[in-house]
Amino acid sequence: MVESWVGSMSRLLPRAIREGGHEFTFLTRDLHHYLRAAPEGTSHPLLGARNVVTADTNDIDALLPEADRLHTAFGFDGVISSCDYYLPTVARIAGHLGLPGPAPKAVANACRKDATRRVLADADVPGPRFALHEEWADLARAAGEIGYPLVVKPVDLCAGMYVRRVDNETELMAAVRALADFPLNARGQRRVPAVLLEELLTGPEVSVETVSYAGAVHVVGVTDKSVGGAPAFIETGHMFPAALTAADADAAEQTALGALKALGLTDGVVAHTEIKLTPAGPRVVEVNPRPAGNRITELVRHVTGIDLAAAAVEVALGRAPDLRRRETGLRSAAVGFLVPGTTGTLEALDGGHLADREGVLEVQLAEPGRPVRAAGSNNEYLGHVMVGDPAGPGARERVETLLGELRSGLVIR
C-alpha cells in the first residue's frame, strides 16, 4: 500500500486486506502524518501492516528501484492506495513489477481533470465545455467564450479544494489568484499551475459506483449527492441508492460506462464516476479510479452487502471480486455532514443522544474546543450522521431531520 487517506478508507482498506486473509507492506514518506490522525491512545489501522517502510513516495524515479528491492525481499502480489495523489504512482509500480492493475496512462488521465476532459471529448462522451490555460489573458478570454457563470478548477486537487463558481471577471481573478497561492498539495507534491475553466452544469448530481475486472465493468449502483456552500461545491450528503427514475439511473450508468471505456479503466479498478443530470442529459463531472469516499462505500455495504474496499483489494491482486448482493434489511442508507459556515472555536455540539435513535447507523462528531474554519471544501466537516431505512428511500429525509437537531445546538465562537 502506497500512502492512504486518513479518513474512513484508512480503516476500511486495511480491514479488507486483513479479512481477505492477506498482509500488506505500508510505504510512506511521512509516518507522522498517520500517527497524528489516530485518536489519542489508539494505534492507527495502517500500522497493522506487516512492514512499514519510509521512502520518498513523491519521487517516482527513486521509488521504482526501491519497489524492485522490496519486491525481491517480500514478493508482493499487488499494489494499492486509497489516496488520489498516489493512484498514478500505484499504477506505475504495478506495471513496473508486472503485477495486476489498470494501465498507468489510464489512471494518470483519470487523475488529471484536464486530461480526463480531453479524452472524453475525443470519445464524444458528454461533458461541459471547457478550456485550460495558465496565463490570465488567456483565461479571461476563454471565460468570455464559455460564458459566465462558470466553474474554476485546479486540475490536480481533491475534495472540492479551490473549485469555485464565478459569475464575472472579478470573481474569476480572485479564484485564480487563490489557486496560484497554493503551489503544493497536502502531500508536498508540486501542483500543475494550469487552471481549468468549465461551463456551469445544472441539475442533480449523482455518482456511479463500478468495479472493473477482466475487461468487464460491473455497475454496483448509483448514489445521489447534495451540494452546498456556494460559491464552493461542498458535498453535504449522499444517499444510496439514488431516488431516480429507471430511465435517469440507466442514463447515468451508460454515461459512466462510456467514460470508463474511453479512459481505458475496464480492468482492475473500482471507480466512482460523478455525473450531472442536466436538462440536456447526463454530463460527466469527473472520474475517480478508486472506491468512493465520504462514506459512500459504507452506504453501499449497508444496503447491498457489497464491500467495495474488499473488491478493490481483490482486483488489485488480479482476482475476481465478490459482487453478490445480500439481504441487509435496508432499502436505502444516507449520510449527512455537518458543514460549518463560520470560523472560530467549537464551543458546543451535543449529539450523544443520536446514536440511540431509530435507524441511526453511525454518528461521528467533533469535540468541543476544536478550531473551526468556515468550509471551503470537503475537508472542514464537524461530523456526520448515517441512517438506514428498511422500507424505502426515506434515509435522506431522516438524516436531514437529525442534522437539523444538531445544528440547533451547534455553538461556534
**Which pLDDT tens digit goes with each residue over 249-263?**
999 999 999 999 999
Residue 22 has pLDDT above 90, yes or no: yes
Residue 231 has pLDDT above 70, yes or no: yes
CA nearest neighbour of 331 among 304, 296, 361: 304
The order of strands in the sheet holding 411-412 is 371-372, 344-348, 411-412
CA nearest neighbour of 292 among 226, 215, 208: 208
- Domain 203-328 and domain 330-412, same fold? Reply is yes
Q: Average pLDDT of the chain?
A: 96
Cis peptide before 104 (omega within 30 of 0): no
**Which pLDDT tens digit goes with each residue over 132-146?**
999 999 999 999 999
Instruction: Strands of 214-309 (E only): list them.
Output: 216-228, 234-240, 269-278, 281-288
**Among 30-34, 66-70, 268-272, whose mean pLDDT is lowest?**
30-34
Interval 205-231 mean pLDDT: 96
Is the CB of residue 47 less than 8 Å from the CB of residue 34?
A: yes
**Which pLDDT tens digit goes with each residue over 135-187?**
999 999 999 999 999 999 999 999 999 999 999 999 999 999 999 999 999 99
Q: Tell me, what's the pLDDT at 43? A: 75
Q: Tell me, what's the pLDDT at 44? A: 82
Q: How confident is the model at residue 409 (pLDDT cuts 50, 70, 90)?
A: confident
| Fold (CATH) for 128-199 | Dna Ligase; domain 1 (3.30.1490)
Q: Tell me, what's the pLDDT at 41? A: 61
Residue 335 has pLDDT above 70, yes or no: yes
| Fold (CATH) for 203-328 | D-amino Acid Aminotransferase; Chain A, domain 1 (3.30.470)
Q: Residue ranges of the domains in the chain?
A: 8-99, 128-199, 203-328, 330-412
Helix (H) or strand (E) holding 333: strand 332-337
**Which pLDDT tens digit goes with each residue over 369-400?**
999 999 999 999 999 999 999 999 999 999 99
Q: Tell me, what's the pLDDT at 39? A: 67
CA distance 127 to 79: 31
CA distance 245 to 231: 29
Question: The C-alpha cell of 131 is what?
Answer: 478550456
Residue bearing the bigger pLDDT, 354 or 275: 275
With a pLDDT cut of 70, the percent of the chain lying above it is: 99
CA nearest neighbour of 203 among 285, 262, 319: 285
CA distance 89 to 102: 12
**Position 175: which residue type?**
A
Interval 241-245 mean pLDDT: 97
Is the CB of residue 319 less than 8 Å from the CB of residue 214?
A: no
Phi-psi domain of 77 (left: phi exceeds 0; alpha: psi -120 through 50; beta: other): alpha
**Among 253-257, 300-304, 350-354, whose mean pLDDT is lowest?**
350-354
With a pLDDT cut of 90, the percent of the chain lying above it is: 92
Interval 69-78 mean pLDDT: 97
Is the CB of residue 294 less than 8 Å from the CB of residue 235?
A: yes
Question: The C-alpha cell of 190 is what?
Answer: 508540486
CA distance 373 to 22: 40
CATH number for region 330-412: 3.30.470.20
**Which pLDDT tens digit goes with each residue over 26-43?**
999 999 888 887 766 677
| Fold (CATH) for 8-99 | Rossmann fold (3.40.50)
pTM of the full structure: 0.96
